[in-house]
Structure 1
Amino acid sequence: MIRGIRGATTVNENEEDVILKATEELIHEMIRKNAIRPENVAQVIMTVTEDLTATFPAKALRTLRGWTYVPVMCMQEIPVPNSLAKCIRIMMTVETNEKQENIHHVYLEEAVKLRPDLSII
């Protein structure tokens, strides 16, 4: 079965190292909570809010061993007024035997506000 696994986090600054560190932390937590293996990932879509322009968050994924051939795409979120600022979102499309209710979506930092119902640690 193919499932989507969501993740999101926020940063305080529009700086490359800050964005990459936060993205890497988010990716590692998504992998850990869902036992994700790169060979089971069809694609990864990453978005950032319009206030994050210092780097592509996909660079963080590219540093992980085994993820070289996983297709990754970055794009900008729709700039909805009053939406969460400095936010990085990830959608992984993964082959898994887990039921939807057993998928662990990961929301860190201020991003817990996006889905408080799924942000239980």
Structure 2
Amino acid sequence: MTIRAIRGATTLTADERDHLHARTQELVVAMLEANSLDTDALISVFFTCTPDIVSDFPAAAARAINLGDVPLMCAQEMPVPGALPLVVRVMMHAHLDTPRNQVQHVYLHDAVSLRRDLAQ
């Protein structure tokens, strides 16, 4: 089985814990569904947030949807002037036999503007 990286991102309308959890969970589930994966195929998930998100860790949201046994890590994005605000990004590593150019990356809400070439 091949290891692939799957990218995804979403945006928040406000930095509120429940909203962060809902949008993060929506994104993770969409990434799994788009690639026909279950959590057993996951190797690790790396989350980043723009510096304006401080209400909670996206990994906490992921643990709430049964990813507690998957290695999860969070980090802060670089504070680049003019960058899209309130963004949660994900890099998911999984066992996936799909060719790299057929991996389905998922960009939701205003994050579709980040990678129109990859967004579904």
TM-score range (shorter-chain normalised) is over 0.9
Q: Which residue of 2 aligns with 1:114?
A: 114
Q: Which residue of 2 aligns with 1:50?
A: 51
Q: Could you list the runs of 5+ residues in structure 2 that have no partner in the other structure? A: none
Task: Report SS of the residue matched to 1:30.
Answer: helix
Mean Cα deviation higher: 7-16 or 56-65: 56-65
Q: CA deviation at 1:68?
A: 2.3
Separation of aligned partners in 1, 2:24 and 2:58: 6
Q: Which residue of 2 aligns with 1:23?
A: 24
Q: CA RMSD in A?
A: 0.9
Q: Normalising by structure 2, report the TM-score.
A: 0.95
Superposition misfits of 4+ residues, deviation over 2 angstroms:
none
User: Residue type matched to 2:70 in 1?
Assistant: V
Q: Which residue of 2 aligns with 1:12?
A: 13
Q: Which residue of 1 aligns with 2:61?
A: 60
Q: CA deviation at 1:92?
A: 0.4
Task: Report SS of the residue matched to 2:81.
Answer: coil
Q: Percent identity?
A: 39
Separation of aligned partners in 1, 2:38 and 2:22: 21
Task: Report SS of the residue matched to 2:65.
Answer: coil
User: Residue type matched to 1:114 in 2?
Assistant: L
